[in-house]
């Protein structure tokens, strides 16, 4: 009788511990060990995507190496040009994968067992020779998209010793190719090149992205995501540099600069046309266009209904009282930071807050800002 009761109690106690472990610890175990619908997550790009490569490359990394960068989520600077997580971080979380480590911080296959981040702040789609031939100074970083692809090939050979192993990794991985291309336009815009001239760079930028995509597909990539550009006409640094007394330059509903947003759309449409060709040539590959423009515009047009404050064109951090000030950047002496970054779209006048990245990430993970949404494969 007593032994039976003890056995029963032991059984119930065992069941309770199993129940507790499964429902409370399993989700975290899943997130930390990469048990996902993808085996690896690889990303390429610039400061929109950089999870720390800039810190490991730059001799003097600047304010991003100190608070308030990273204050919202990490509580410390991590090399991310934001107050917290980036789009790629939210994608990793949704896929139950660890945050992708920066390539320049890793050395062994174990370091990259769930993927790697190759994005570097300031990176361009085109190599530096292109800009030098145009008489432009583009020397923030030499690590253009083509170099990042070469880095990836080194990691791939580190992870797979045979061609069969490498093919398996390629087919089971998710590739985020960008956001990339924004700096190819930032530099000439900020160096007073004309709108007409910079438009002529778009085909070259898109072709560079296309060439990198082909490289990855030839290696066996089966799922690739290609983000478009943000609406640069709503970004504080552009609003400051290109402020105008001509009211026709501005959208009366948002205050954004129309012709700059038109340029972003010009790039995005050119990229989508190129991706259409890529899909036609590779029918067995899932090629996803990720729309960063529309979700950002939705917030800008209706900030309050999207959980943001009523100053969508202001920066949270910097020295310009919400406007961009090139003389006092976020994190430098004399700069200030807002009390609640989640109410702001822009973090430092050029990059975005974690709150904005969360909204953009949700749109491409679940829809409607990616066709098919990234999570669709995970639900099949």
Active-site annotation holds for 348: yes
Cβ atoms 174, 225 nearer than 8 A: yes
CA distance 215 to 167: 13
Confirm if 45 and 119 have CB atoms less than 8 A apart.
Answer: yes
- Rg of the chain on CA atoms, in Å: 22
Q: Which of 50, 83, 348, 369 is catalytic?
A: 348
For residue 370, the SS3 value is: strand
Q: How many CA atoms lie within 13 A of 183 on its CB side?
A: 29
How large is the angle between the packed helices 293-301 and 258-281, nearest 10 degrees?
Answer: 150
Active-site position among 184, 212, 351, 369: 351
The answer to whether 239 touches 312, Cβ cutoff 8 Å, is no
Is the distance from CB of 44 to CB of 177 less than 8 angstroms? Answer: yes
Active site residue 244: no
Of 36, 47, 100, 346, which residue is the catalytic one? 47
For residue 68, whether the previous peptide bond is cis, meaning omega lies within 30 degrees of 0, is yes
Total Cβ atoms within 10 A of residue 309 = 15
Q: Residue 351 catalytic?
A: yes
Burial of 61 (0-12, 13-18, 19+ CB in 10 A): middle
Whether the CA torsion 70, 91, 104, 120 is positive or negative: it is negative
Q: What is the DSSP track for 29-58? A: HHHHHT-SSSSEEEEE-STTT-SSHHHHH-
Residues with a catalytic annotation lie at 47, 348, 351
């Amino acid at each position: 009788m007593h032994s039976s009761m003890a056995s029963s109690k032991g059984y119930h106690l065992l069941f309770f511990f199993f129940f507790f472990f499964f429902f409370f610890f399993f989700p975290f175990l899943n997130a930390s060990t990469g048990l996902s619908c993808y085996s690896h997550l690889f990303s390429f790009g610039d400061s929109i995507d950089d999870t720390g490569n800039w810190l490991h490359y730059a001799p003097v990394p600047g304010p991003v190496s100190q608070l308030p960068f990273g204050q919202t989520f990490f509580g410390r600077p991590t090399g991310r040009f934001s107050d917290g997580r980036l789009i790629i971080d939210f994608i990793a979380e949704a896929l139950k994968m660890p945050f992708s480590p920066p390539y320049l911080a890793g050395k062994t296959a174990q370091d990259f067992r769930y993927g790697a981040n190759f994005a570097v702040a300031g990176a361009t789609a085109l190599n530096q020779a292109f800009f030098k031939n145009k008489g432009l100074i583009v020397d923030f970083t030499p690590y253009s998209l083509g170099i990042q692809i070469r880095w990836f090939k080194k990691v791939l050979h580190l992870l797979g010793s045979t061609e069969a192993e490498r093919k398996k990794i390629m087919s089971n991985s998710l590739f985020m190719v960008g956001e990339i291309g924004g700096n190819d336009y930032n530099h000439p815009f900020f160096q007073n090149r004309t709108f007409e001239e910079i438009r002529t760079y778009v085909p070259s930028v898109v072709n560079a992205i296309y060439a990198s995509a082909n490289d990855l597909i030839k290696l066996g990539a089966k799922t690739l995501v290609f983000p478009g550009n943000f609406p640069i006409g709503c970004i504080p640094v552009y609003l400051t540099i290109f402020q105008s007394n001509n009211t026709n330059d501005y959208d009366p509903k948002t205050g954004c600069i129309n012709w700059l947003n038109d340029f972003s759309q010009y790039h995005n449409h050119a990229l989508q046309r190129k991706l259409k060709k890529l899909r036609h040539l590779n029918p067995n590959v899932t090629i996803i266009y990720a729309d960063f423009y529309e979700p950002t515009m939705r917030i800008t047009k209706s900030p309050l209904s999207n959980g943001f404050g009523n100053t969508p064109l202001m920066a949270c951090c910097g020295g310009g009282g919400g406007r961009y000030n090139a003389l006092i950047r976020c994190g430098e002496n004399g700069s200030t930071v807002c009390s609640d970054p989640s109410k702001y779209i822009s973090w430092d006048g050029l990059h975005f807050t974690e709150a904005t990245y969360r909204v953009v990430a949700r749109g491409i993970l679940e829809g409607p800002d990616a066709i098919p949404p990234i999570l669709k494969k995970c639900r099949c």
